[in-house]
Homo-oligomer: A and B are copies of this chain.
Amino acid sequence: MQNTDLPNEGNKFQVWKLEITDKSKGFMELLQQLSVCDSVSDKQFEERFQELSAYGDDHIGCVIEDNHSGKIIATGSMFIEKKFLRNCGKVGHIEDVVVDAGSQGMQLGKKTVKFLTNHAHEMECYKVILDCGVGNKAFYEKCGFKEKEIQMARYFV
């Protein structure tokens, strides 16, 4: 397992790689705070977990656990996109960052983004990108990001 090393913040809230046991620690309930996320069976979860694990370092999910409650209180994920342009460059895509509503103000979001950004750097990506609502722009600017383009979406369901 890997942890971040933000200075002066101690080890109270470490960032860990997502593990299959995190489902029983409220991982899916945390995602529900971000988006539509009905119940998923243990089997479905394990299958998706294994599919993602098969990508090796090209996909990473991370979590922060509250040691007192044993609940997952922050998460985020990243996949590494392999391109032909930029001399066969790679791009880190940050997805599904969410901090528990009752655990705000402890820099858990910042720790999560830093962990994922570091991973992209280690994977030799030339950039990291993410899409967010306008309301989260200031947060990501504090994480070193700048507004670049617009996101367009087409929903099938």
The residues of A with any CB-CB pair to B shorter than 8 Å are 27-28, 31-32, 34-38, 40, 44-45, 47-48, 51-52, 61, 77, 79, 81-88, 93, 95-96, 117, 120-121, 125-134, 137, 140-141, 143-157
The copy count of this chain in the complex is 2
Q: How far in angstroms is the closest Cβ of chain B from A14?
A: 21
Chain B nearest Cβ from A61, distance in angstroms? 8
**Cβ-defined contact, A149 with B131, below 8 A:** yes
A84 pairs with B149, CB closer than 8 A: no
Q: Which residue of B lies closest to A130 (CB)?
A: B152
A149 partner residues in chain B, CB cutoff 8 A: 131-134, 150-151, 153
Min Cβ gap A116→B in Å is: 11
